[in-house]
Structure 1
Amino acid sequence: MTAKRKLLAAALGAALAPVALVAIPAGTASAHGYVNSPASRQAQCAQGVVECGAIKYEPQSVEGPKGLRECNGGVPQFAELNDNSKPWQAAEVGRTVDFTWTFTARHRTANYEYYVGGQKVADIDGGGQQPPATVTHQVNLPNSGRQTVLAIWNVADTANAFYACIDLQVS
């Protein structure tokens, strides 16, 4: 191949690369899990209850390193999940609440943790097992009134966890 042809081929390839990237369908996000009942903040985004950014399309993807205590799991593009000024709807519940997780990729589970005001209120062993498509935990809450529960699914086979905040009005 002559130098002129190589230059033409390189130029053509550089010109077509952006077009190919736009024309090729994007793969689906590697999905995982979130609390869908009572509706977590990301579930409210996905349902269009609250206006949100990218989390609307992938509520199951709030994944970050284990040990965080943030609604967005430390993921900058999901920062709106930390915004308490948004009109999050609080589910009316009693002091005992059933939280249902929906999984779209079922990792082996170390445990599930539930926090209110930074205080752990429940720790449920996952036994290192792969969960079914949905899992429900019954959690007793210590106080009544408006509160936000941080639910964490600690995965056994990665260094990450999945995070969900659920706004409640506890009677």
Structure 2
Amino acid sequence: MYAAAVGIAATGALVLSSGGASGHGYTDLPISRQKLCANGTVANCGAIQWEPQSVEGPKGFPAAGPADGQICSGNHTNFSALDQPKTPSGGAWPTTKVTGGQSYTFRWQFTARHSTTDFKYFITKNGWNQNHALARSDLETTPFLTVPYSGQPPATLSHSGTLPSGKSGHHVIVAVWTIADTANAFYACSDVTF
């Protein structure tokens, strides 16, 4: 009887601990830094490799939200590997090849669907400084794509939009999923090559 009670308690603790860590969402098209860490493409990322869906931070970006230098981690110091200009091993972040002016399907992976204000996509300016953690001054001030949801949960995992033209080389796309009924949003940074 004691063994059964211990087994039930251990199972309950496992369920509670894994349920508490279940997060909410991240992009996998273009592949985000957190997904690269979670799938093992980039090693030694720390806690984010187990919680790619948990990059949740204050909403209101770019006027509010995560601090400069902590945009990709959503202000989470335990996810700070995402903010660095290089991977934890010192190499370049892998990029997704894209073409400016073309339609692109952005895809999210959700572990929980929330009432949503919108999805917004920002991109780095031409000539941005690639040698420091991402700051607002590195980004175009207006999102190149906004997908409104009027407080409804996302019905699909993906939506399409046109990538900006006039870009070349390495850029970062910052995807922001703004939640309607909390003070937070989810952030995902994806490295792309035009």
Does 2:118 correspond to 1:111?
Answer: yes
* Alpha-carbon distance, 1:127 to partner: 1.8
Matches within 5 A, 1:46-61: 46-51=38-43, 52-61=45-54
Q: CA RMSD in A?
A: 1.9
SS in 1 for 2:35: helix
- Alpha-carbon distance in structure 2 between the residues aligned to 1:140 and 1:27: 37
Describe the superposition over 1:91-137 as per-residue Cα deviations: whole angstroms up to 9, x where unpaired: 11111332111111000110111111221222221121111351223
- Alpha-carbon distance in structure 1 between the residues aligned to 2:78 and 2:162: 30
Q: Which residue matches 1:154?
A: 178
- Alpha-carbon distance in structure 1 between the residues aligned to 2:156 and 2:145: 21
SS in 2 for 1:49: coil
Q: TM-score under structure 1 normalisation?
A: 0.80
Describe the superposition over 1:52-103 as per-residue Cα deviations: whole angstroms up to 9, x where unpaired: 1110011000001012250111111101101112231001111133211111
- Indicate the structure (1 or 2) with the bigger Cα radius of gyration: 1
Q: Percent identity?
A: 40
Contact 2:105–2:158 at 8 Å: present in 1 too?
Answer: no
Q: Which residue matches 2:147?
A: 124
Matches within 5 A, 1:19-168: 24-25=13-14, 26-28=17-19, 29-51=21-43, 52-66=45-59, 67=61, 68=65, 70-86=71-87, 87-95=92-100, 96=102, 97-117=104-124, 118-119=139-140, 120-132=143-155, 134-142=157-165, 143-168=167-192
- Alpha-carbon distance in structure 1 between the residues aligned to 2:118 and 2:95: 25
Structure 1 residue runs of 4+, over 6 Å off? none
Q: Which has the higher strand share?
A: 1
The letter for the 1-side match of 2:39 is Q
Contact 1:106–1:133 at 8 Å: present in 2 too?
Answer: no
- Alpha-carbon distance in structure 2 between the residues aligned to 1:149 and 1:131: 20
Equivalenced residue count is 150
The letter for the 2-side match of 1:27 is S
Contact 1:112–1:151 at 8 Å: present in 2 too?
Answer: yes
- Alpha-carbon distance in structure 1 between the residues aligned to 2:189 and 2:176: 9
Gaps of 5+ in 2: 1-8, 125-138
